[in-house]
Amino acid sequence: MKKLILLIICLPLFTLGQQTINASINHGGITRDYILYVPNSYVTGNQVPLVFNFHGYTSNATQQMWYGDFRAIADTAGFIIVHPEGTLDNSGATHWNVGWGGSTVNDINFTSTLIDSIASEYSINLDRVYSTGMSNGGFMSYQLACELSDRIAAIASVTGSMNLGWFNSCNPSHPMPVMEIHGTLDQTVPYNTSSFTESAPDIMDFWGGINNCNSTPIVTNMPDINIIDGCTAEHQIWENGDNGATVEHYKIIGGEHSWPGAPFPVGVTNQDINAAEKIWEFFNKYDINGLILPTNIKNITTEKSAKLIKVVDVLGRVTIPKANTLLFYIYEDGTVEQKMCIE
């Protein structure tokens, strides 16, 4: 772990230029730091989604920005990413206060305040605010789904969990799309029930019930693209929830406490899927009202004077224009149009 931390800290933050902004706000008498990533395509006045990317216990915003990296996806999909920094608990470790003891910081209120602060400076679509995170950051995302659901459209946890007892107190204000990505051999946050956490399968069942999804998931074995990573991936999805909400689970069979697709593998790390890509593909289907139907997606038909450079899909892959598919048209003047041609 020490080698990982040193490698990440030494990476050149300045290479991202003015797209990466180190900022802070005062909350509860504490200066709270965060790193904002704003894609070049951002234009004031055009509302964009906001993705929270929370780091794990003892980690920090910079490490999470590189380890669970969404920036290349944001460059083509056009969303803003915020990487908040946790405070120090009583043991001196950076953390998110999810009820483990040793902290009195109100991170739920901090998150809400940070949404307001960012939205006061940037054009944010407040119906499309999402939360994801690694480990403790995954716990934080679940807590936001329970306690700040009026501001969060969907969440995704990587190696996170829910504390025992949270099921009884969690009462979201709307059906909450949820994704969990978790290794079956995770020794830090166990895949199965532990002395303080619910099991991943029980969490999926809980949110499936909250959303009124089908009780039985559709299970798909993901292609074993990387045969030397020591693990495989299974995709489970509970469909037909209220407002179109689904619950999705990537079960990393043989995987440990790690972020699939990470550029810096820690332990057994799955390379058959890229967690950031899967999470954004999931988030991009929803706003706070549920599934974004084609009729709700802006279909731009205005003629552009700038030259079209390329057309990409939601994962940034170059493609050709096609019907009934959300695509991004990138022009030489730096503007990006989101289009879905309905047939």
Phi, psi torsion values for 174, nearest 5 degrees: -155, 160
89 lies in the same domain as 145: yes
CATH number where 139 lies: 3.40.50.1820
Number of domains in the chain: 2
225 lies in the same domain as 335: no
Neighbours of 146 (CB within 10 A): 20
User: In the predicted model, is pLDDT for residue 284 greater than 60?
Assistant: yes
273 lies in the same domain as 327: no
Name the pLDDT band for 66 (thresholds 50, 70, 90): very high
Reading phi first (left if > 0) and then psi (alpha if -120 to 50, else beta), residue 150 is in alpha
Q: 341 or 185: whose pLDDT is higher?
A: 185
95 lies in the same domain as 121: yes
16 lies in the same domain as 124: yes
133 lies in the same domain as 181: yes
Phi, psi torsion values for 170, nearest 5 degrees: -85, 120
252 lies in the same domain as 313: no
Strands 124-134 and 48-54: parallel
Q: Choose one of 272, 292, 312: the last residue of a domain.
A: 292
**pLDDT digit string, tens, across residues 134-176:** 999 999 999 999 999 999 999 999 999 999 999 999 999 999 9
77 lies in the same domain as 189: yes
**CB of 94 closer than 8 Å to CB of 58:** yes
Among 63-72, 205-214, 287-296, the minimum mean pLDDT is found in 287-296
Give bridge partners of residue 84 from the DSSP assignment.
Answer: 34
Structure tokens at 75: 């460059």
Helices (H), 225-322: 275-283
Rg (CA), the chain: 19
**CB of 291 closer than 8 Å to CB of 245:** yes
- Closest residue by Cα to residue 20 from 60, 76, 61, 68: 61
Mean pLDDT of 316-325: 73
**pLDDT digit string, tens, across residues 173-190:** 999 999 999 999 999 999
Q: 316 or 93: whose pLDDT is higher?
A: 93
Q: What confidence score (pLDDT) does residue 339 get? A: 76
Q: What confidence score (pLDDT) does residue 297 get? A: 44
- Look up the domain containing 206 and give its range: 2-292
Q: What confidence score (pLDDT) does residue 301 get? A: 41
236 lies in the same domain as 339: no
Q: What confidence score (pLDDT) does residue 299 get? A: 42
Structure tokens at 192: 């199965």
233 lies in the same domain as 194: yes
